[in-house]
Chains A and B, each alone.
Chain A
Amino acid sequence: MADFNVNLRGVGSVSVIDVKGYLDAHTAPDLENVFNKLLDQKQFKVVVNFNDLKYISSAGLGVFMAYVETMRENQGDIKFSNMKENVYNIFDLLGFPILYEFYKDENEAIHKFIP
């Protein structure tokens, strides 16, 4: 079905996840694997770059909900950046902007972690 790609890179002590394509119930496990890897490596500062994400379903949203608590408990966070408007609208409708930080640019988000 729809393609999904996930890539992990480190910028200093911050981990940046690039998501690409369609994030739904079928592809959500791929993203979960990346988060599990980060937990194993005790990397709790995460920025998710949504630049190439076209669509996100409720299962995709669930992934961030599942991990954000652990990140925050360990002085980290999940921050979102470079979101297209249609994807942002989905987050917005659900009220995510009240609970998560959204940034136009990836570097902005990274600087929040490393001032």
Chain B
Amino acid sequence: MQNKIKSFAQSGGLENAILLSILLFLFNLIFPIHDSWILSIISEVLVFGTLFFLYNYVHQFLSSKVDSPLSLVLNAGILAALLFFIISIANALIGTSGGKGNLGFFNSLFSVLLTFVFLGAIVYIFSTFRELFFLRQKKDPSTYFKTMLVFFAFSFFSNLLVKIDSSLDYPRDAFYVVTIVLICLNSIRVAWIAFLTKKQKYYLLIISVILSVLFGVTFGISSNSSITKQMLFAFSPGLQTVFGLVMIYGSIYYGIIFFTTLFHLPTAEAFDRKAEEVSSMMDLTNLITKVFDFKELASTITKITTRVCNSDSAWLVTRTEKGIDLNAVNNIGYVIADKISNQLLDGGKSDYESLEVIQLDELNYIDFDQHNFRSVAIAPLMVHNKINGYLFAARQKENLFDIDEKRAIKAFADYAAVALENAKLIEESIEKERLEKELDVARDVQEKILPQTIPSTDQLQISALFVPAFEVGGDYYDFFELANNKLGFVVADVSGKSISAAFIMSEVKGIFESLAKIILSPSEILIKVNDILKESLDKKSFVTAVYGIIDRNTGKLSFARAGHPWGIHCSKGKISRVQPSGIGLGLDFSSNFVNSIKEMEIQLENNDIFVCYSDGIPEAKNSAQEDFGYERLESLILSNCDKNLDSISKTVMKELSLFSKDHSQHDDITLVIFKWNKINN
């Protein structure tokens, strides 16, 4: 039932209100004087309906404004002032002369319009009281308010009884009194005042006293036998009663607001600060997860510290190896803040384990220019018992930082400490990620550069083995199919590691690839490669390489070397080093280089083995920092030279890993083995 009324009232609040007011308007134009009681009843019902629907509509409209109670208060006040103004003017103009019988059409039109203004204003003011009543209420107090509404309705309609029989005025008076009592009870609910800021409270204090008086006076002048009272009464006695009640309500309510605000004033500041603290903390919590930039966070923290802790200035420093580093300042110059912090911290040498407040005049710090700070609070930014910096709050006033303020400064310092730690961790992980990415790219490049297939044939068997170091090294090998059944090959090692080595490596590959088919002399190729590398290698980098060409028809090998470990030739149970002279690529770009490069020719015999490798093998270390060495490699090859190529390289790798089992692999390992089979030719 209740819900039905509610939904009915709210569904077409405005339409119904307009419809009823038009009916009321026409009704009053047709019957300016309600002499018969039937007309009175109709009129009263119409007025009540208009009030009812208008009230429900305005309620919906106002509920969107409850976040700013002061503007609600002020709006109601302005309407009250308007009513006061109208009544005063009306009294002044026609107060005495306005005779009763004079009821021309325009006169009645004017009075009806004026009445509508009253009607609207009453509804608006009353609705405002309703919104304020429900504001910030923890329990649902609607029963009290509804009871009051019912008595308002009773007071409204009890006027009809008087109309019927003028001796029946006691119910009206009784309802009137009860309503006023209920108004008093409902006026006490002013919890929302506590949540206003100090400034707003002062503002409300002044407004409420003015409005309380204004409502009182308006009630006073309207209840005298003034023209407006007569007009309203003639229009609808009920409306006149409600008008009076609303004016009383206003006067009482604002009176109570005045006193409540007055009592709230002493605690207003503390309440403000607590609220500020809570909201600042919430801001910070949001910020801490979003801001990766510590400087930005530091500047926010100093701003909040200044505001919440009633200090004049605040700044934040972090500790570095060299001393202290000023991160953010608020309301103070960088130079002065730096000077003060350096003095107080003794250039980063002294520590403050917990929050301390220093009275400056005691310690005779006076030369801080225009900043006459009297007390400075210092809070350490502490994470895992390590002090990473300090938060400063400085005050020019004499009074000390109180316990709440100290607590707040400490809390902000803790936040800053966590944020600083976060920023550091994020930075580190970004750097780590970057390095890993770089390594991935370098590995990727190397993988793509090395040949995917080995051109092994029956006459010339080839095995190639490559083991990358954890940090990518710069090894590279390749094979080139040349005219007349010849095969070119290169094994190279770029100095340096990771991405830079990978870049040079890919360049070296490009150069060898393009030269291999054009130049058919190993020494000339190396000379040309050196020439080209002159443009791109930096002074510190160099490349060592061996280049050879094997004629698959004859088994003739021509071989040149540029600073690279020599080739190992195993023939008929004997090992020999194939070491033509030649300096590394990129070491020299003069005739010295050209003259140094020599070429050797070897005739491979049946079952001969020829081995090229990178210095990752001979320079592999054991835990005693000893080299694996060339001799070890050579003797391994010698003792296994009659085995197939795969088992030779497997044996070498096995021995190598056994030798350096306690030592991580520092450099790439490349092992390329050729075996010449004349029989199958």
Contacts and interface: CB of A to CB of B under 8 A. Distances in A.
A65 B496 contact: no
Interface stretch (A44-52, A55-63, A74-82): A55-63
A74 to B, nearest CB: 16
B539 A95 contact: no
Contacts of B542: 58, 61-62, 65, 94
Contact of A94 (B496, B540, B544, B627): B544
Given A25-B497, A65-B587, A95 B581 contact: yes
A93 interface: yes
A54 interface: yes
A62 B542 CA distance: 8
B587 A93 contact: no
Contacts of B596: 95, 98
A65 B587 CA distance: 7
Nearest to A62: B540
A103 interface: no
A105 interface: no
A62 B586 CA distance: 10
A66 interface: yes
Q: Binding site of B, secondary structure by majority: helix, strand, loop or mixed?
A: loop
Interface in B621-641: 625, 627
Contacts of B592: 98-99
Q: Binding site of A, secondary structure by majority: helix, strand, loop or mixed?
A: helix
Interface string B495-525: 1110000000000000000000000000000
Nearest to B629: A86
Interface string B378-408: 0000000000000000000000000000000
Nearest to B544: A94
Interface in B443-463: none
Nearest to A22: B625
Nearest to A100: B587
Contact of B627 (A62, A66, A86): A86
A96 interface: yes
Nearest to B540: A62
B255 interface: no
B555 interface: no
B584 A95 contact: yes
Contact of B582 (A65, A95, A99): A95
A21 to B, nearest CB: 11
Given A62-B495, A62-B542, A65-B542, 11 more contacts: A58-B495, A59-B496, A61-B495, A69-B539, A94-B584, A95-B584, A96-B583, A98-B588, A98-B596, A99-B588, A99-B592
13 contacts: A25-B496, A55-B625, A58-B542, A59-B495, A62-B539, A62-B540, A65-B540, A65-B587, A94-B583, A94-B584, A94-B587, A95-B583, A96-B583
Interface of B: 495-497, 539-542, 544, 562-565, 581-584, 587-588, 592, 596, 615, 625, 627
Q: Which 10 A-B pairs have the closest CB atoms?
A: A95-B583, A62-B540, A58-B495, A94-B563, A66-B539, A94-B584, A66-B540, A95-B563, A98-B596, A99-B588
